[in-house]
């Protein structure tokens, strides 16, 4: 847990589990923790009978470190883990799991509240002597291991029914989560329903809590929203929603209205982060419109290829319906985005690029992700891997590392780098495509993208053509892409999980923090680190646009695209020539052009005389870059640290100047950063 990061959700999951147990066993003493150091201190000062840990991909190694440390102070401590990060239908895998975690006494799979209560009840009946308890009394959600006999202990006959959520007490309204609402770096999170009707092989959501959709009491949800609003001290005022498909139910509009009423009356939430319904409906749009001042609406696709969708157990809505919903959302002022995953079974470089082009050309903002395998998901099963020729490698998880007193830990992602339809070279090529598209998606290029759009072109098509144009790449662009591709190759540690380290030193964490492990942001930061990069890329694109599109668009439109590119790059922040502010001369009415609907050619908005815009560096960047330079190992590394550490949550704001309303020109020299004279 990083005290300088303000978007970490508070521990709602263990809050539900603890609250359910306390409601049924009031004499229990349960303490909840988010920070590992505080947990270890508590175990040292007042040793408990049980250490219970939620287990996810983002804290797997950290859990091991905590268990080892706690066992040093209390060797007889009973250790229980639970969460979706567990493959409960593969005895061979379960044996491997326990053999590599000999300190873990019990794993609870599936929904946690009732199972953990039953564990505590059985433990109480045994006089806190777990060894005396016969496994015949275990529910089917319990998994253990006999290390002497090398066998899994499991009783599949006693299944655990899904919870009636109306019987689950609110950990907010009971005050159980008050200590976490009092912490500035923790963000509140609520759950209004549980379950997911979809069975995507790459996801664990439905498999973890069941496919049947169940609802928490509506009055309770509304009370929680207002309770949190009155107590949360997190300065970002963000609220997370833990639902798999928020907006799927008609009542979600009522919940949205409660959130907006809370915002208007109490100033919370100012931002909402939610995964909206996979297949949007009219009431999804109604909900999203209500929340549009504080939230976006996800319209996830994951892939545009029918064969891929069949392989991963997913069915998207028809494209014509998808486009209608997207356009209707735009009319209502709802900002939308979609997600595409590369490395899914059946997806090749060619099919992924086609899907990316089709999605981008429709006007949709696209977020791209690698395909990560998750323990417990069907996609990580031995059968699924063998059927689709899945090859994976582990790498350091970009945000899963930290120092917690004398505990030092980082996590791994298992990334798909090859399938029957995608070679390693294809994977690295898609990574380069990802980096280029992400760069052109920066708001700096809004004019450039607008000009491409009315010529029926898009940044995905452009990026694909750039990758095919290697023989014409200028030196700087060639080096940037080659270094990025090599970095993507070098970050892959091993394909064998038994070769991964799980114990780390302070030096290990320090060394990782000095690396630029967020590859795509690193690529973008390196571009904007040097003005010569921007100038060379500008020159290359002017030539490339002619080669790529001269047979597809008129000469006039081609000149419009190039003019728009120049206008966009005028706002580029180059960190070896950094200014607090400067002027920009423009010959076009940009505001009218960008707002024209349908989009019209730039040349139709040419002015009789040029106007001057004032371009200002965003507040705080100048000072933050000074700190980043002191900490960085190079100029490029300083720009990366600026984005990742010293000006976090900036998204793409560090890459462009704010263009102010037109002003008279001034002859005064702009303030320049000391880096410019170095």
Instruction: Report the alpha-carbon distance of residue 485 to residue 495 in Å, rounded.
Output: 19
Contact 490, 393 (CB under 8 A): no
Judged against a pLDDT cut of 50, whether residue 169 lies above it is answered with yes
Reference 375, options 139, 34, 68, 143; nearest CA is 143
Judged against a pLDDT cut of 90, whether residue 666 lies above it is answered with no
* pLDDT tier, 314 (very low <50, low <70, confident <90, very high otherwise): confident
Q: Are residues 253 and 355 in the same domain?
A: yes
Instruction: Report the alpha-carbon distance of residue 462 to residue 455 in Å, rounded.
Output: 12
Instruction: Report the alpha-carbon distance of residue 628 to residue 557 in Å, rounded.
Output: 42
* pLDDT tier, 210 (very low <50, low <70, confident <90, very high otherwise): low
Q: Output the average pLDDT for the chain.
A: 92
Q: What kind and span of H or E run contains 617?
A: none
Q: What kind and span of H or E run contains 107?
A: strand 106-108
Sole residue written with tokens 């990580």: 380
Contact 67, 73 (CB under 8 A): no
Q: Are residues 281 and 337 in the same domain?
A: yes
Instruction: Report the alpha-carbon distance of residue 294 to residue 256 in Å, rounded.
Output: 11
Strand order in the sheet with 50-54: 50-54, 78-82, 106-108, 142-146, 151-153
Strand order in the sheet with 606-616: 581-588, 606-616, 658-662
Q: Are residues 272 and 199 in the same domain?
A: yes
Judged against a pLDDT cut of 50, whether residue 313 lies above it is answered with yes
Q: Residues 536-543: what's their mean pLDDT?
A: 98
150: phi > 0 → left, psi -120 to 50 → alpha, else beta; which? left
445: phi > 0 → left, psi -120 to 50 → alpha, else beta; which? alpha
Q: Are residues 245 and 380 in the same domain?
A: yes
Does some domain include residue 60? yes
Instruction: Report the alpha-carbon distance of residue 546 to residue 454 in Å, rounded.
Output: 17
pLDDT at 671: 56
Sole residue written with tokens 């590119």: 565
pLDDT at 672: 55
Percent of the chain scored above 70 by pLDDT? Answer: 96
Bridge partner residues of 370 (DSSP): 342
Bridge partner residues of 90 (DSSP): none
Q: Which of 99, 127, 153 represents a domain boundary (last residue)?
A: 153
Q: Are residues 218 and 352 in the same domain?
A: yes
Q: Are residues 233 and 144 in the same domain?
A: no
Does some domain include residue 350? yes
Does some domain include residue 146? yes
Report, in angstroms and rounded to the nearest whole number, the Rg of the chain calculated over CA atoms. Answer: 27
Query: Hey, how many other C-beta atoms are within 10 angstroms of the C-beta on 546?
Result: 14
* pLDDT tier, 675 (very low <50, low <70, confident <90, very high otherwise): very low
Contact 83, 54 (CB under 8 A): yes
Q: Residues 57-74: what's their mean pLDDT?
A: 92
Q: Are residues 262 and 140 in the same domain?
A: no
Q: Are residues 27 and 106 in the same domain?
A: yes
Peptide bond into 598 cis (omega under 30): yes
- Residue 475: φ, ψ to 5°: -60, -45
Q: What is the dihedral of CA 119, 120, 122, 127, to 10 degrees?
A: 140
Does some domain include residue 541? no
Q: What is the pLDDT of residues 581-599, one digit of tens each?
A: 999 999 999 999 999 888 8
* pLDDT tier, 676 (very low <50, low <70, confident <90, very high otherwise): very low
Contact 352, 430 (CB under 8 A): yes
Q: Are residues 237 and 377 in the same domain?
A: yes
Contact 532, 476 (CB under 8 A): yes
Q: What is the pLDDT of residues 131-141, one digit of tens each?
A: 888 889 999 99
Does some domain include residue 377? yes
Q: Residues 109-126: what's their mean pLDDT?
A: 94
- DSSP track, 289-342: HHHTTT--EE---B-S-HHHHHHTT--PPPHHHHHHHHHHHHHTT--EEEEEEE
Q: What is the pLDDT of residues 381-421, one digit of tens each?
A: 999 999 999 999 999 998 888 888 889 999 999 999 999 99
Reference 225, options 237, 213, 209; nearest CA is 237
Contact 578, 559 (CB under 8 A): no
Q: What is the pLDDT of residues 81-95, one digit of tens each?
A: 999 999 999 999 999
Number of structural domains, the chain? 2
Q: Which of 388, 412, 443 represents a domain boundary (last residue)?
A: 388
Q: Which of 126, 153, 180 represents a domain boundary (last residue)?
A: 153
CATH of residue 264's domain is 3.20.20.70
Reference 324, options 284, 287, 294, 367; nearest CA is 284
Q: Are residues 297 and 382 in the same domain?
A: yes
pTM assigned to the model: 0.92
Q: Are residues 51 and 110 in the same domain?
A: yes
Does some domain include residue 664? no
Q: Which residues are CB-contacts of 368 (< 8 A; sequence separation ≥ 6)? A: 339, 340, 341, 342, 356, 434, 437, 438
Reference 439, options 148, 175, 656; nearest CA is 656
Does some domain include residue 597? no
CATH of residue 22's domain is 3.40.50.280
Helix (H, G, I), strand (E, B) or coil at 122: helix
Q: Are residues 259 and 377 in the same domain?
A: yes
Q: What is the pLDDT of residues 487-533, one digit of tens each?
A: 999 999 999 999 999 999 999 998 888 888 999 999 999 999 999 99
Range of the domain at 284: 188-388
- DSSP track, 465-532: HHHT-GGG--HHHHHHHHHHHHHHHHT--BS-GGGS-----HHHHHHHHHS---HHHHHHHHHHH-HH
Contact 581, 617 (CB under 8 A): yes
pLDDT at 571: 96
Does some domain include residue 434? no
Instruction: Report the alpha-carbon distance of residue 642 to residue 638 in Å, rounded.
Output: 6
Helix (H, G, I), strand (E, B) or coil at 240: strand
Q: What is the pLDDT of residues 434-488, one digit of tens each?
A: 999 999 999 999 999 999 999 999 999 999 999 999 999 999 999 999 999 999 9
């Amino acid at each position: 847990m990083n005290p300088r990061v303000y978007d970490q959700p508070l521990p709602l999951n263990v809050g539900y589990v603890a609250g359910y147990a306390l409601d049924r066993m009031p004499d229990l003493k349960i303490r909840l923790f988010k920070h590992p150091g505080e947990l270890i201190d508590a175990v040292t000062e007042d040793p408990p009978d049980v250490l219970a840990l939620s287990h996810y991909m983002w804290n797997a190694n950290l859990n091991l470190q905590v268990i080892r440390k706690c066992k040093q102070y209390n060797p007889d401590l009973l250790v229980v883990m639970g969460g979706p990060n567990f493959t409960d239908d593969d005895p061979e895998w379960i044996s491997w799991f326990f053999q590599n975690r000999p300190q873990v006494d019990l794993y609870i799979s599936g929904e946690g509240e009732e199972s953990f209560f039953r564990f505590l009840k059985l433990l109480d009946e045994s006089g806190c002597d777990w060894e005396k308890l016969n496994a015949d009394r275990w529910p089917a959600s319990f998994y253990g291991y006999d290390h002497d006999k090398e066998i899994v202990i499991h009783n599949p006959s006693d299944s655990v029914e899904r919870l009636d959520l109306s019987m689950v007490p609110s950990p907010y309204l009971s005050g159980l989560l008050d200590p976490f609402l009092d912490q500035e770096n923790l963000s509140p999170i609520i759950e209004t329903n549980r379950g997911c009707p979809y069975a995507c092989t790459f996801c664990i959501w439905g498999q973890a809590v069941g496919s049947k959709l169940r609802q928490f009491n509506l009055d309770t949800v509304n009370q929680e929203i207002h309770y949190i609003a009155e107590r949360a001290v997190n300065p970002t005022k963000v609220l997370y929603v833990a639902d798999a498909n928020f907006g799927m139910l008609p009542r979600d509009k009522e919940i949205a209205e409660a959130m907006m009423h809370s915002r208007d009356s109490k100033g919370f939430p100012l931002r909402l982060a939610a995964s909206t319904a996979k297949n949007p409906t009219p009431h999804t749009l109604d909900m999203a419109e209500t929340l549009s001042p504080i939230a976006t609406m996800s319209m996830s696709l994951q892939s545009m290829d029918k064969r891929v969708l069949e392989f991963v157990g997913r069915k998207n809505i028809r494209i014509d319906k998808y486009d209608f919903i997207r356009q209707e959302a735009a009319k209502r002022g709802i900002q939308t985005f979609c997600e595409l995953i590369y490395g899914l079974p059946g997806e090749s470089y060619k099919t992924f690029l086609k899907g990316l082009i089709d999605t981008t050309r429709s006007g949709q903002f696209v977020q791209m992700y690698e395909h990560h395998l998750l323990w417990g998901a069907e996609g990580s099963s031995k059968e699924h891997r063998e059927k689709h020729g899945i090859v994976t490698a582990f790498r350091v998880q970009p945000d899963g590392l930290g120092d917690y007193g004398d505990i030092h830990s980082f996590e791994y992602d298992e990334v798909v780098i090859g399938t029957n339809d995608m070679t390693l070279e294809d994977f690295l090529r898609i990574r380069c495509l990802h980096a280029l598209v992400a760069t052109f998606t920066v708001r700096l290029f809004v004019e450039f993208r607008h000009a491409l759009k009315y010529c029926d072109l898009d940044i995905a098509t452009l990026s694909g053509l750039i990758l095919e144009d290697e023989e014409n790449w200028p030196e700087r662009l060639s080096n940037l892409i080659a270094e990025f591709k090599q970095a993507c190759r070098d970050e892959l540690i091993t394909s064998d999980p038994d070769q991964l380290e799980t114990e780390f030193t302070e030096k290990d964490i320090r060394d990782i923090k000095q690396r630029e492990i967020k590859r795509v942001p690193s690529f973008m930061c390196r571009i904007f680190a040097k003005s010569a990069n921007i100038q060379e890329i500008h020159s290359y694109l002017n030539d490339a646009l002619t080669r790529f599109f001269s047979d597809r668009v008129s000469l006039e439109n081609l000149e419009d695209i190039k003019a728009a590119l120049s206008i966009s790059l005028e706002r580029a922040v180059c960190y070896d020539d950094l200014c607090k502010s400067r002027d920009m001369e423009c010959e076009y009415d940009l505001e009218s052009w960008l707002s024209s609907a349908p989009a019209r050619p730039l040349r139709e908005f040419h002015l009789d005389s040029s106007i001057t815009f004032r371009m200002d560096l965003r507040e705080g960047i100048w000072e933050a870059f000074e700190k980043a330079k002191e900490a960085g190992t190079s100029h490029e590394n300083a720009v990366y640290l600026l984005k990742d550490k010293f000006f976090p949550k900036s998204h793409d704001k560090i890459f462009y100047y704010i263009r102010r309303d037109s002003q008279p020109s001034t002859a005064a020299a702009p303030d320049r950063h000391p880096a410019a004279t170095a």
